[in-house]
Amino acid sequence: MPHCIIEHSSSLNASELNQVVFQGALESQLFEADGRDIKVRSIAYDHFQTGTERQDFIHVTLRILSGRSDDAKLKLSQSVLAKLESLALTDVSLTVEVVDMDRDSYSKRVVSGD
């Protein structure tokens, strides 16, 4: 059920980032084994500042329903970060955070054409 939102500098390959973040979430073993509940999207930025020197970046926000333990959140964060680290990148800032979505107020509906 996670919503994996990748923000990154536009010089990086969004499709590749989407795939490795998906794999990291899947390998955390916190979600459906086939990955059908993992949602990944990315936003590329052309205009950004990273301190005093421009540096490529990847920031992943993993939004999950509240109620998971701190250990489970850390496992998820570390799994996604490990996948990002496996890419052949240099001089890139990598950050991952897990954010709870309030279970009581979260609403979802799948609308189909049937």
Q: Residue 17: its pLDDT value, please?
A: 98
Q: Residue 113: its pLDDT value, please?
A: 86
Using CB atoms within 10 Å of the CB of residue 61, give its burial: 0 to 12 exposed, 13 to 18 middle, 19+ buried: middle
With 0.75 as the threshold, say if the pTM is over it: yes
Q: Residue 90: its pLDDT value, please?
A: 94
Q: Residue 1: its pLDDT value, please?
A: 85
Which CATH number is 3-101 given?
A: 3.30.429.10
Spatial contact of 40 and 74, defined as CB atoms under 8 Å apart: no
* Residue 37 to residue 35: CA distance in whole angstroms: 5
Among residues 36, 35, 32, which one has the least CA distance to residue 110? 36
* Residue 25 to residue 4: CA distance in whole angstroms: 8
Taking 50 as the pLDDT cut, the residues of the chain under it are: none
